Structure 1
C-alpha cells in the first residue's frame, strides 16, 4: 500500500515537473511581421501608403546621402526589383516609362531591365533634368510648409520622379490644391514628405542630361 502510494506520488511530481518545464512566452511584436496559426513567419508590407500620417515604409538603407535617396525611391517604387514591369508598363527599380528612357538616351529596353548600372545612370540623369526644370521652384519654395509638409529639394525631385516636373510646379503654385496621383493613387504630397531632407546637392542641374553607355 505504501509502495503503491509512493508510485502515484512520484508520478504526480513527474507530471508537474514536465508541465512546469514548458513556460508560456509571449511572442515579441516585431514591426512588419506576424505569426500565422501554423507558426510560419510572414513578412507583410503595404504596397500603398496613402494614409500619409502613418510611419514611413522602412527601407533597407540608412542615412540621407544621394545613394540613400536613390535606393529609398527604388525600394518604394519596386522593392528594388531590377526587372519589374508594372501593369502600366513602367519598368525597372525606379519604374521608368519608355518615353522617359528615350529622352535620356536609352532605347534597348530589354537590356535596361537586367542592367543595374544602366538603371542607376538613368535615375541620376533624370534627377539632373528635373533639377534643371525645377531650379526656380527649388530656390523659391524650399523651407516653406505646404499641406503640412516642409518643402525640400529632395522631396521635390522625388515628386517629379513620380508625376513629372510640370505636376510639381502646379502643386506648388496652387499651394497644394492642384494635386497629382499616379495609377495606384500615390500623391505628390506623400513623396514630398517621404523623401524630404536627403542630400542631393552634388547632382548638377542639366537640361540635356543623358545616360552615357
Structure 2
C-alpha cells in the first residue's frame, strides 16, 4: 500500500507564516516544530506536551498519548528528494497552545485570543452577510496580535509588581520578627 503524502501550503496568521499540510482525506495538520515555534517555544515543546500529564488532563487518555506521525510531503513538479515532517492534528495544536496560555505564555495568549476573535467575527460576518477579504482579515489579525501582545506586557508587568511587593512585605515581617500569615502568634518563624 502506498503511503499517504501531504500537500503543503503557507498559512498566514497575521504577520506569522507557518507551513500547513493537508492529507488526501482533507485532514489539516501542523508540524510539531511549527506548533512550538508559533508561540515562541522550542521545536520539540509540543511533543513534550503530548507526553505530559497536562495533556492527559486537557485531552483525555486517548489523545494525550498521541505520537506524531511522520508524513511525507507531495513534491511539486521539478522538485526532487523526500521531505518528511512530524504531523499533529489541529485539535492537538490548539490544546497545546491553550496549555501554553495556562502557563502564562504571552505569545500563546495573544495568538489564541486573536484567533478566537477572528473565528467569532467570521461567524458574525456570515450571519450579517458581510464579505471580508482574506487580506483584510490578516491585516486586522496582525494589528490585533500587536495590540494584545502589548497589553499582555502591561498586564504581566502589574503581576510582577505584585510579586515584588509581596516579597518585600514578607521580608518586612521577617525583619520585624512578626508572624507570617501561616504562623500562629507566638510561634517561631521557620
Q: Which is higher, the Rg of structure 1 or of structure 2?
A: 1
TM-score, normalization: structure 2? 0.25
TM-score, normalization: structure 1? 0.23
Greater relative CO (CA pairs within 8 A, separation 6+):
1
